[in-house]
Homo-oligomer: A and B are copies of this chain.
Amino acid sequence: MRQPIGIISMQFVRPFTNKDLGLFERIKGLGFDFVELLVPEPDDDLDVGALCQALTDNDLGVLLAARVNAERSITSVDPMARQHGIDYLKTCIEAAATLGADIVGGPLFGGPLVFAGVRPSPIDETERRARFDRCVDGLSTAANEAVKTGIRLALEPLNRFETDIISTVSQAIEVVDYVDSPGLGLLLDSFHMNIEERSISDAVRTAGDRIIHFQANENHRGFPGTGHLPWNEITQALHDVGYKGPVSLEPFRRDDDRFGVPIAQWRPPLEDESDKLRTSLAFMRAALAMAEHKR
């Protein structure tokens, strides 16, 4: 079976609602094997039954991306935010079961910074250890739930500006190995790894079989192959650790470098990106396949 390559729905639209279900035909037509959807929120205008039907109709797989915030964060010092964080992870697992997604990934540990309008701040050693305890407690609870439902949670390190909880692969490994559950693995995103890792390919090799989802994003989060990431080394490392799981593309930076355009802010497409997406997919599929021919 070929390695599944998917695209995030945010490439096309945000928020994703009932009127966007027709996108699945386009996504399938572009050649993608699955769509990565944000875990639906209660107030999203999205009918889950119709969503499932549209996935089936288009023979499209699905993975879910979880969204945390300061009010739902398992590592928060606020017990209410912690409880909401755990409740949210359970909601994510239920949503995955309903939609037939077997992986929910993201910064499940909470502790958002820039997108929550929070500055990086020093913490003392007591609080650092308390955060670790809250993190493994919350993830253990959620991983137990996940195992019961046959879902796996994928912990994603985010760069230093997006969180101060887990930014490196080694930090994530520390937590995943401590929780030690078949319901918890790693989601690695090369965009974040480019900022935080000494070597992206070494980090992939260290993570090894803990990796259950890979997001193949360019250094600038544009179309893969248009930046400076060493894709041959990265795909070789994925091959060397035997990773055959899902690979997502999220190249939604947009080709718009005018003064004052807020690059970190999600922006809708400015053009029909179909050709660039087809080329991105072909590039990534070839880079993954080429690793098999080396050595």
Contact = CB atoms under 8 A, between A and B. Distances in A.
A35 to B, nearest CB: 24
Nearest to A191: B195
A257 interface: yes
A254 interface: no
A10 to B, nearest CB: 14
Interface in A259-286: 259-265, 267
Contacts of A261: 128, 164
A77 interface: no
Contacts of A267: 122
Given A117-B118, A175-B259, A260-B164, A220 B195 contact: yes
A33 to B, nearest CB: 27
A262 B122 CA distance: 7
Q: How large is the interface on A (under 10, 10 to 19, 20 to 34, 35 or more residues)?
A: 35 or more
Nearest to A253: B160
A257 to B, nearest CB: 5
Residue in A114, A123, A226, A260 whose Cβ sees the most chain B Cβ within 10 Å: A260
B264 A161 contact: yes
A254 to B, nearest CB: 12
A167 to B, nearest CB: 5
A113 B262 CA distance: 10
A219 interface: yes
Interface string A147-177: 0000000000001111011111011001100
